[in-house]
Structure 1
């Protein structure tokens, strides 16, 4: 029995021993990134020197996951495998993470962070062999997807060991601010240049802020900002030099338009920061503020302190601020300040003028270099016509590029229908007399005379009948306004209004000047557009049909901020002098005198052009009492309700001849009286004969 079973038993025991040895010696192999506890009592744990933790992404939404890695290095910088790494959170109420993981062949241990349903910011730390890793921040967001990060660094250049504010604006996919509390990460790409005051901040109204603190190392620091998978970066230039002074450099342009006027509403004002040797210094913080201004809403920053901003000098030492206009005109001065070791250096800019509004209808006028043109019946006699304009405040530096259109009556032609306004609010064109060959009327359009012109003709027929038709002299068929020509000037502008609350805007109920919508040439001087309908009517006036309605449009009853405003300006075109005198002869007794009146005018009974002289003299005896006259430049004629006497005073003169030897006993002698006119048409004279005892 014993011998029968001995051999099989020994074989079975040997097999069991071999199976046990193989099973005990075959441990489970690990690979890079395996998680869970591993290793046996016989394994010798390697020595480690550093653990680096990262999370991707470092910003997740609630209930989302982030892959966390811990890379383990030995003293030589080589990755260490087979190390059991523990993971911990500073705020486990926000998320959960795999407790441990073992490094693989690349020295990486992997874990999964799972966010709970609450947003916030937490830090992840890894540890092994009593060595702790860096703290890695992970932001847990509300679930709204950030899409854009806009960054500003103030200043964007600074000195070593200086500070800059980093401001991040975070917007969602709809361009709206992300919810308050969204975590934003701030990281310096190269910590040799400095550090952040905090690694993260949460948004308020879409904005998050952090401070960059420069190290004692010049160069360019890049600040990387991220929210979830969205990121952006901003560069800050760090310089070594110290400023010695600041100087004003330029203001371009020096004149800007009022806000909302359509012109350039901003000016770039530059200062330069230099060191002791006069070399430009970059990265210097410069405090800019509005030193003086009209207080009409002008600003240099769009935050809660619009009159103050801090900027940094660029690589050329230039610090630039942009002044933007408000609704009130006036001069503005910018002050720039730099500080060095407690000492402040200040300088002011030149004056920037805010104006450049649109022309105002109440401040639009026209003049001419020659008002009374000696060109009746002549072509090519010149004058220059100038439109003067300013905005509602009286500033003539109106909107740059404003143009003025000029139209004229027959007998006058302009060299350009459109002129551009210059920096002084002026638009000038040259004009000349140019009489149409088909129009027998010399001067302007033939219009019906006003009552005062009819009265003037009656006076002439009564007082100077020898010089009225059918006698040589005045025909009686023309009157002064037949020698007057209208020039229409129009431009885009605004109607005048009384700004009662001084807010720079028209408010309902404020009084305004309602002007005609369509500019027209006012031939007959009545201020209203005229259409010829029957014989004896004044001629049809031409107009600019602004809205292409085919008819002339008058006032519209509403204040207009943009429309054609216009002026009808009157010139005189005058001709050769005609002289009349009353009485036409005389007989002065011994010791007596004789008074005369005489008229000097052109064929339309208008006074003559500037520089014309009128004198009176006697020949053969007698003493003359009369003033010599030199005509001034003028084109005024009375209006519809005027009096003929006001015009008569411009063309009629007085003279007296008296006996110059009342004690003589000689017989009466014949003497002459002569009126002489010298002007652009040459010399004309009229002589009458009489006796003097």
Structure 2
């Protein structure tokens, strides 16, 4: 007789409970430790409220009972409701101040949720929690700013809008999609780059949020009206500006290219200059050489400069080429070219050039997997995709072509040694292979991704550089953490088969020894006021634990009965059981594993067909599929009977079918 199963998801609790209270850490001399969480808004103030579709800094503080900071401790972070947002990164290491930072990334939804933090000390787990709410944010969309009010035929011009938090009056400190359109663009007589994401720049120590587009004339010839539109959390705003486009005249000048469009600040190791080209044309639209063109920048903040203020168009091609050199401040700049002697004035403007570090910082580097628990332990050749993402400290994606390197624990599995960033991300494939007994943890493997970058710091005064007195993430050389515990230097560990595994490190300076944190900020954005200041780089890194789930059930995955006793014991018609989705290594079963539960029994009837015994039944759903997760999930179910006794041979059976097609089962008698 088959019945139905009611599945109730168990929530795992930390050893010393939740709540925003002190936790005990046995390895601390004082016998106690304090773990606290604080959300900081854009003004750097503590808050329990964040905005939808935003990124908010989460500050973790850890100290002993006397207030002495506890450093080099791994803190695990999570949220109760992933549909409202996520924590990235979800594990952080406390610095010498006992502090660590992560980011709460909220979605479009509003509501309330809980941030959970936990630490492991000497084999015991301790946790705390922080309640917060998410609400919609109103904003102000500025009137579109045109760098030219009159545009030559076939010319281009930059158009930008500012975005301001209507509550604080400060820059809208989150990326927002802004669309641009105009009647001429709708009619195919002009082109507008749309939609575009807003970015935040620091100008003269003040944050400013803006979205920039480029208007390219095709055949508009007259008045046009550009409309910018943005929507956030159900709130939509729009603004308009007018532009006059000249009809074809004695000649015109067109923007051709800017290579590269992302240039690096001096001292960061990237390209610090860009070549910008325009083309001069005659009345018939043919290239025209020998014409002088004057060029200017729309901003000189931080010392941005042009190598020359004028250039002559080349015979045959009509091309005009100028060079832009980066200054000392991250910003966006355009080049305006004007045909000398033209009346009325004939001008065109380049696309936006972004000036930034071009280097990833530690807080902007992460590694993720599309499947956390693949069927890797028992099967060779299965694969998952790992994706590394990197941004500089201003949130700009690192330049295309930036290299990320990978290594696996013990050299187990097959992975590409590196990938190249495109739009701030790149991916590699990890295949199951190798001797699983060489892993430190049974069925658990760490993958390490790293690239050249800089340490992260807290820019308290908003000037865009590291100053004395500001905190930072002081890091040593990167090493692969094989046993998932907090330790400051590589260890010699024992693999599953008893062999020695020495955690490998990346020898950044090539001296043949491991170097820990040096007590200095290692980055390119250092204030010149710091004595002996030298710009340095490090390896930024991210480790990801991949569960190599086995194609076999663990022992005793069914628990029956629970505290209420067996079915029909003392006449009870209801009993409880539990199922743990655990493999033979104690890890979670592979993702996409099909799990089915049923009661198998022999029902006896008399000569008249009446039941002599009464069948046991499952109440609720009887099957589910294991999701992508790194944690073992436990489920509770209910068994019932209309009357007692139940069949003597009644048993509860769990059957699993793994993605590979292999099957496994376990049972427990109900009497």
Q: Give the TM-score normalised by the residue count of structure 1.
A: 0.50
Does 2:612 correspond to 1:617?
no
Q: CA deviation at 1:401?
A: 4.7
Does 2:397 correspond to 1:435?
no
Q: CA deviation at 1:548?
A: 4.3
Does 2:571 correspond to 1:570?
no
Does 2:279 correspond to 1:298?
no
Find the counterpart in structure 1 of residue 447 from structure 2.
Answer: 487
Q: CA deviation at 1:376?
A: 1.1
Rg comparison, structure with higher value: 1
Distance (whole Å) between structure 2 residues aligned to residue 618 and residue 534 of structure 1: 43
Deviating beyond 6 angstroms after TM superposition, the runs of 4 or more aligned structure 1 residues are 533-538
Q: CA deviation at 1:321?
A: 2.2
Among 253, 259, 262, the alignment partner of 1:252 is 259
Find the counterpart in structure 2 of residue 310 from structure 1.
Answer: 310
Find the counterpart in structure 1 of residue 292 from structure 2.
Answer: 285
Q: CA deviation at 1:555?
A: 0.8
Change (3 A) 1:296 1:617: farther
Distance (whole Å) between structure 2 residues aligned to residue 617 and residue 533 of structure 1: 43
Q: Give the TM-score normalised by the residue count of structure 2.
A: 0.52
Does 2:505 correspond to 1:543?
yes
Q: CA deviation at 1:575?
A: 0.1
Find the counterpart in structure 1 of residue 582 from structure 2.
Answer: 601
Q: CA deviation at 1:538?
A: 8.3
Distance (whole Å) between structure 2 residues aligned to residue 616 and residue 281 of structure 1: 80
SS at match of 2:518: coil
> 1:159-308 to 2 correspondence within 5 Å?
243-291=250-298, 295-301=301-307
Change (3 A) 1:278 1:625: same
Change (3 A) 1:379 1:525: farther
Find the counterpart in structure 1 of residue 22 from structure 2.
Answer: none
Q: CA deviation at 1:271?
A: 1.4
* Structure of greater relative contact order (alpha carbons < 8 Å, 6+ residues apart): 2
Among 685, 688, 692, the alignment partner of 2:665 is 685
SS at match of 2:320: strand
Change (3 A) 1:520 1:677: closer
Aligned residues: 385
1:482-534 per-residue CA deviation (whole Å, 9 max, x = no partner) reads 32211222222111123344444433433221101353444342232244499
> 1:497-508 to 2 correspondence within 5 Å?
497-508=457-468
Q: CA deviation at 1:563?
A: 2.0
Among 625, 629, 633, the alignment partner of 1:634 is 629
1:386-429 per-residue CA deviation (whole Å, 9 max, x = no partner) reads 3222212121133x553333221137234443x24323233433
SS at match of 2:321: strand
The answer to whether the Cα contact below 8 Å between 1:522 and 1:568 also exists between their aligned partners in 2 is: no
Distance (whole Å) between structure 2 residues aligned to residue 533 and residue 525 of structure 1: 12
Does 2:359 correspond to 1:354?
no
Distance (whole Å) between structure 2 residues aligned to residue 335 and residue 356 of structure 1: 24
Distance (whole Å) between structure 1 residues aligned to residue 340 and residue 638 of structure 2: 85
Change (3 A) 1:311 1:501: farther
Does 2:406 correspond to 1:424?
no
The answer to whether the Cα contact below 8 Å between 1:522 and 1:529 also exists between their aligned partners in 2 is: no
Q: CA deviation at 1:352?
A: 2.8
The answer to whether the Cα contact below 8 Å between 1:410 and 1:435 also exists between their aligned partners in 2 is: no
Find the counterpart in structure 2 of residue 583 from structure 1.
Answer: 560
1:427-484 per-residue CA deviation (whole Å, 9 max, x = no partner) reads 4333222232xxxx64721xxxxxxxxxxxxxxxxxxxxxxxxxxxxxxxxxxx4322
Change (3 A) 1:297 1:626: farther
Q: CA deviation at 1:539?
A: 4.7
Gaps of 5+ in 2: 1-248, 523-535, 602-614
Distance (whole Å) between structure 1 residues aligned to residue 506 and residue 454 of structure 2: 17
Find the counterpart in structure 2 of residue 382 from structure 1.
Answer: 383
Change (3 A) 1:522 1:281: same
Distance (whole Å) between structure 1 residues aligned to residue 382 and residue 443 of structure 2: 15
Distance (whole Å) between structure 2 residues aligned to residue 625 and residue 533 of structure 1: 47
The answer to whether the Cα contact below 8 Å between 2:558 and 2:667 also exists between their aligned partners in 1 is: no
Among 640, 651, 657, the alignment partner of 2:639 is 657
> 1:53-72 to 2 correspondence within 5 Å?
none
Distance (whole Å) between structure 2 residues aligned to residue 381 and residue 249 of structure 1: 47
Change (3 A) 1:327 1:569: farther
Gaps of 5+ in 1: 1-241, 303-308, 446-480, 636-646
1:44-91 per-residue CA deviation (whole Å, 9 max, x = no partner) reads xxxxxxxxxxxxxxxxxxxxxxxxxxxxxxxxxxxxxxxxxxxxxxxx
Distance (whole Å) between structure 1 residues aligned to residue 633 and residue 581 of structure 2: 5
SS at match of 1:482: coil
The answer to whether the Cα contact below 8 Å between 2:494 and 2:501 also exists between their aligned partners in 1 is: no
Does 2:403 correspond to 1:403?
yes
Q: CA deviation at 1:379?
A: 2.9
Find the counterpart in structure 2 of residue 674 from structure 1.
Answer: 653
Change (3 A) 1:275 1:524: closer
The answer to whether the Cα contact below 8 Å between 2:385 and 2:428 also exists between their aligned partners in 1 is: yes
The answer to whether the Cα contact below 8 Å between 2:616 and 2:646 also exists between their aligned partners in 1 is: no
Distance (whole Å) between structure 2 residues aligned to residue 570 and residue 533 of structure 1: 17
Distance (whole Å) between structure 1 residues aligned to residue 515 and residue 295 of structure 2: 51
Change (3 A) 1:288 1:530: closer
Find the counterpart in structure 2 of residue 496 from structure 1.
Answer: 456
Distance (whole Å) between structure 2 residues aligned to residue 634 and residue 582 of structure 1: 22
Q: CA deviation at 1:606?
A: 0.9
Q: CA deviation at 1:586?
A: 4.4
Distance (whole Å) between structure 1 residues aligned to residue 438 and residue 409 of structure 2: 9
Supply the RMSD in Å over aligned alpha carbons.
3.3
Q: CA deviation at 1:551?
A: 3.2
